[in-house]
């Protein structure tokens, strides 16, 4: 395993500080998680801070997996790029992830809002459903329960985690080292990065659409489109750098 590089080490420390601090400061999650822009808890800094937040205890797998991937793949990339280029790439992928996640949440929210408005539900009732999840049972005679849930969860569910940025790193790693073999505990056979990473992204894309209003079969509680957004951002940046000779000398 490659030695941990300096920028990766600093990112690891920041994530751990955020994680430990958020367990003791109750205001941390509403302040630093990424909320829907129309939610009163939304703050302009959340697209950045949310990538350093992770699911609270006792769920340790979220931060453990992300930090393991950060150290494993991030160190390899920083070794070749240098710290400035690596940090720019990492933050950009995290922001790309936030953008696609918010965009899809906006689509989900407005789809549900349109359905309620078409059913002639009063505006004050719609606002109560969105903000508090409260509604009269007779409303379900006019619109499906899934539409009410879609409105409420799109409006209120925050997003946390470095996963979007991590997916950008995975994409860059597969771009630079396509024949490197990767293995997971539940897959006994190593798979080349050029097959493993696209497969992982397409799985997220499938699960994201499967849990959306497009298919209406229920979500997984994971921000799949944030993963896809980070991967797409990473791919676009790698493609651009490759075709424009955007090399390390520009970061000195």
Residue scoring higher pLDDT (45 or 207): 45
pLDDT of 245 over the 90 cut: no
φ and ψ at residue 37, rounded to 5 degrees: -55, -25
Place 2 in a pLDDT band, splitting at 50, 70 and 90. low
Q: For tokens 């209120």, what's the residue?
A: 156
pLDDT confidence band for 243 (50 / 70 / 90): confident
- Average model confidence (pLDDT) for the chain? 90
What is the pLDDT, as a whole number, of residue 124?
94
Residue 116 confidence (pLDDT) above 70: yes
Does pLDDT of 9 surpass 50? yes
* The CA-based dihedral angle spanning residues 207, 234, 53, 39, taken in that order and rounded to the nearest 10 degrees: -70
Residue 155: its pLDDT value, please? 96
What was the pLDDT predicted at 251? 59
In this prediction, residue 69 carries a pLDDT of 94
> Where are any strands of DSSP class E within the chain?
181-184, 187-192
Residue 58 has pLDDT above 80, yes or no: no
As a whole number, mean pLDDT of residues 226-234 equals 96
pLDDT at 10: 98
Q: Give the model's pLDDT for residue 28.
A: 96
Determine the Cα–Cα distance for residues 41 and 29; give it in Å rounded to an integer.
Answer: 10
The whole-number pLDDT of residue 207 equals: 87
Cβ atoms within 10 Å, residue 251: 14
pLDDT for 219 beyond 50: no
Evaluate whether 5 touches 79 at the Cβ level (below 8 Å).
yes
Rounded to two decimals, what is the model's pTM? 0.90
Question: How confident is the model over 133-146, as a mean pLDDT?
Answer: 91
Overall average pLDDT of the 146-169 stretch? 95
Per-residue pLDDT tens digits for 159-213: 999 999 999 999 999 999 999 988 765 567 889 999 999 999 999 988 888 876 5
Which residue has better confidence, 159 or 223?
159
């Amino acid at each position: 395993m490659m030695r941990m590089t300096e920028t990766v080490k600093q990112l690891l420390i920041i994530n751990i500080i955020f994680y430990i601090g958020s367990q003791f400061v109750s205001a941390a999650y509403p302040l630093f998680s990424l909320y829907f822009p129309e939610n009163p808890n939304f703050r302009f800094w959340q697209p950045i801070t949310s990538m350093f937040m992770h699911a609270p205890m006792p769920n340790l797998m979220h931060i453990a997996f992300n930090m393991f991937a950060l150290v494993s793949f991030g160190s390899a990339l920083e070794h070749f790029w240098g710290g400035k280029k690596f940090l720019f790439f990492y933050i950009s992928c995290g922001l790309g992830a936030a953008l696609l996640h918010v965009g899809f949440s906006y689509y989900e929210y407005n789809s549900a809002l349109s359905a309620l408005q078409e059913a002639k539900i009063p505006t004050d009732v719609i606002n109560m459903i969105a903000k508090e999840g409260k509604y009269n049972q007779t409303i379900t005679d006019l619109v499906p329960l899934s539409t009410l849930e879609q409105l409420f969860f799109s409006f209120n569910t925050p997003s946390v985690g470095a996963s979007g940025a991590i997916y950008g790193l995975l994409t860059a790693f597969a771009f630079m080292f396509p024949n490197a073999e990767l293995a997971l505990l539940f897959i006994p056979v190593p798979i080349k990065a050029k097959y493993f990473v696209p497969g992982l992204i397409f799985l997220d894309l499938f699960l994201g659409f499967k849990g959306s209003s497009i298919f209406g079969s229920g979500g997984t509680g994971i921000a799949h489109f944030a993963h896809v957004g980070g991967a797409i951002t990473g791919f676009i940046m790698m493609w651009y750098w490759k075709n424009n000779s955007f090399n390390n000398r520009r970061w000195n």
